[in-house]
Amino acid sequence: MSVTAAAGFVAAGVHCGVKADPDALDLALVATDDAVAVTAAAVFTTNRAPAAPVEVSRGHLSATGGRAAAVVLNSGNANAATGSSGRQHAEHTCALVAEALGCAPEEVLVCSTGLIGIPLAIDAVAAGVPPLAGARSAAPAAAAAAATAILTTDTVAKQVLVSRPGFTIGGMAKGAAMLAPDMATMLAVLTTDAAVGPSDLASALGAAVAQSFNVLTVDGATSTNDTVIVLASGRGDAPSGTVFRDALAEACAGLAAQMADDAEGATKVVTIRVRGAASPDDARRAARKVADSQLVKCSLYGADPYWGRIISELGSAGVTFDPDLVSVAYGGVVVCAGGVAAVHDGAAVSAHMGQRWVEIVADLGLGSGEATLLTNDLTPGYIDENMRTS
C-alpha cells in the first residue's frame, strides 16, 4: 500500500533540517527507478498567490510536454510568499535532485508544505539531497518514509493502493487543514504502471480530483501550495474504457477520506449530501454553504442535530430554494420534512451523532441536482492548532 507499489518507481524520506526536530523526516523523493522521465500530469492550487514550487513545477511540465522523472518534496516550510529567491530555491532543489539522479532539471517537479512567508532553508535541503537520493528504494519502508516526510500537522501518514488486472496505482498524500477546493494545505503524489498517454492521464487526473479533493472542505481555506501529481511508467497494460479513470478516482478518494479523518482537531468526519436541487451547480453550492458553516460545524462537535442551522444555510446559499419543500435527515433519520420538524426516533439520531462518521442529507425537493461534500466539525483542538503560526 504505497507510492512504490506500481512497477518502475522508488521513493525515500530523510531528515535534512528544514524541521528543527532531528527525528522528524522532512525531505521526500518519488522517482522512476532508472531516472528516465515518464508521462506525468498535475493539478495545482487555484490560489492567486501560488507558492514558488507550484510555479516551478508548472513551468517544468510545460517545458517537457508532460513528462517527469522525479518529484522532490519538503515539509516544514511552504516556500510561499518568498519572492524571486523562493523561485530560485525551488529551481535549485530541482537541479540538485537532477544531478543526483542523472536526469534533466526540468524533469524534476518540486513541492513544499509548511510555514508561509519564511525563506526556505536551502542549505539544509542541499545537504539532504545526496542522502535522499542514496536512500531511494522500491521497498515499502522507503515509501512509508517518503509519506512520513511530507507531513506537517498531520498525525498519520496517508497512503493508498488500488489494483486492477494489468496495472496498479499507488499514492501518498498529506493534509489536515486548509483543505478546500480548488483544491483540497495538501500535497499528493500518485504513481501507476498503466500505459496511459499524456492527454488521457491529464484528463483522468482532472476528473479524479474533481470527485475527491475538490469535494473536501475542512475550513474553507485554499492553500498556496496544493498540488496533485501522477506519474505513469507504462510498464503495465493499457486499460480500456473508463477502467483507469475509475481506478484513479478511487485512489484519490481514498486519500481525500484519510485527510478528512485526520483533520486538525476533528472529532467527526461528515458527509453532506444535497439532493433534489434545481441543478447540479445549485446542489454543489448548497452543500458547500452547509459544509463551511461554522454554526453547523459547532453543532456537529456538540453532537446536536440542530437542523434549523442547516435550513438557514440552505436558504442563504443563493440557489433556488423553497422552504416548504426541504427535508433534512441525520444518518437516514428524517428530522425535518416540508420545512418543519418531523416526528422521528431521537435515540437513533443521537446514536448516529455520537459516531466518528456522520451523514447529513438535505433534499430540496425541486429537481434532480445532487452533490456530496466531505467536511468535519469545528473543535477547540482546531483553534489550539491555528491560533498561532503553524
Catalytic residue numbers, as ranges:
185
What's the rounded Cα separation, in Å, for the pair 169 and 7?
A: 9
Rounded to 5°, angle at Cα 257 from 53 and 146: 45
Among 301, 296, 294, 333, which residue's Cα sits nearest to residue 311? Answer: 296
**Amino acid in position 108:** V
What's the rounded Cα separation, in Å, for the pair 96 and 127?
A: 10
What's the rounded Cα separation, in Å, for the pair 59 and 87?
A: 11
- For residue 16, what is its C-alpha cell? 535534512
Total number of residues shown for the chain = 390
What's the rounded Cα separation, in Å, for the pair 153 and 185?
A: 10
Alpha-helical runs (H) found in 234-371: 243-261, 280-291, 294-301, 307-315, 346-353
Give the count of beta carbons closer than 10 Å to the beta carbon of residue 381: 15
